[in-house]
A = this chain, B = another copy of it.
């Protein structure tokens, strides 16, 4: 069988992800983890994030064409993404159970979960654009 080992690298990746609320990309998390483990490779970060998600200790925030982000908060919650810089924040709104209920009623899928994402331009990027236009 398969015995999972708690290596230093895995532990630090998990700990640092759980500390963050910034929905980091693998690369961002890699930079952070390097403060504690300078030699850790990006591949190891990816592999451990994958394992974390498998185990249900984290989740991927996947948008095609952008960098994948990871979230140490596995409760059901929604996100706001900046269309320009890609940063993701939590959206303070209660989940709508109707979404999965409707899906169960009307689709033949075995429903697993649902995702809601608001897309907008964050204040920082708004200012940048204004500057760029005004120049």
Total contacting residues, chain A, CB less than 8 A: 43
Task: Tell yes or no: A92 within 8 A of B by CB.
Answer: yes
Tallying the copies of this chain within the complex gives 2
Q: How far is the CB of A60 from chain B (nearest CB, A)?
A: 7
Q: How far is the CB of A29 from chain B (nearest CB, A)?
A: 15
In the complex, the answer to whether A116 meets B99 with C-beta atoms within 8 Å is yes
In the complex, the answer to whether A107 meets B121 with C-beta atoms within 8 Å is no
In the complex, the answer to whether B92 meets A106 with C-beta atoms within 8 Å is yes
A66 to B89, CA, bound (A): 21
Task: Tell yes or no: A62 within 8 A of B by CB.
Answer: yes
| Residues on the B chain within 8 Å of A83, using CB | 112
Nearest residue in B to A96 (C-beta to C-beta)?
Answer: B96
Residues in chain A within 8 A of chain B (CB atoms): 60-69, 78, 80, 82-83, 89, 91-93, 96, 98-100, 102-103, 106-123, 126
